[in-house]
Amino acid sequence: MTFEPPAVPPSYTPPQSPAPQAPSYQQQQPSYAQQPQQPQPQQPHPGYPQQPGQNARPPRVKNTLGFVSAILGASGFLLGFIFTFIQLGMYATNSTSAYGLLGGTQSVLDALLGLGAIALGVLGYLKGGPSKLLAIVGTTLGVALLLGVLNGLIFTIALPLIY
């Protein structure tokens, strides 16, 4: 069994120290043709922490339209839960006069939130960038809200035809 040193990445070059020079007793004349050497930025070595002034990766591009789209889609479902509990409270207290008005208000709000989520989600997806996930989520939630509104409309139209 022989010992083999670990593999060194191809981009790694070990630091080289300048060769020692013998002292010269002659007077050296300055050379104006040579430019002073500027320090080269050092690349971090794998496995070692980076220095505080260096960033590991570039700042992340944000997809604001996708984020707002996801918030609109999620808020439609949150409002649906709130309206459900309000309607249950109205039904339990036998104050059913405003029950239909509250259901209609919920449907209009869901439709507006769904359309907004779809529009912003599609724009956020087409905008591009690395973060398209929130745009896809917002568009999906917006489509689900519109399907719920469509389901409610079909039920409202079909109910009198059946009974």
Is residue 87 in some structural domain?
A: yes
Is residue 128 in some structural domain?
A: yes
Is residue 68 in some structural domain?
A: yes
Domains of the chain: total:
1
Q: Which domain holds residue 99?
A: 64-162
Closest CA to 91 of 83, 99, 80: 99
What's the average model confidence in pLDDT over 131-159? Answer: 93
Is residue 23 in some structural domain?
A: no
Is residue 26 in some structural domain?
A: no
Is residue 95 in some structural domain?
A: yes
pLDDT in tens, 30-87: 555 555 566 666 665 666 666 655 556 666 668 899 999 999 999 999 999 999 898 8
CA distances from residue 122 to 70, 130, 153 in whole angstroms, order as listed? 11, 15, 25
Is residue 152 in some structural domain?
A: yes
Closest CA to 106 of 124, 122, 93, 90: 90
Is residue 38 in some structural domain?
A: no
Q: Which pLDDT score, from 0 to 100, does residue 40 have?
A: 63
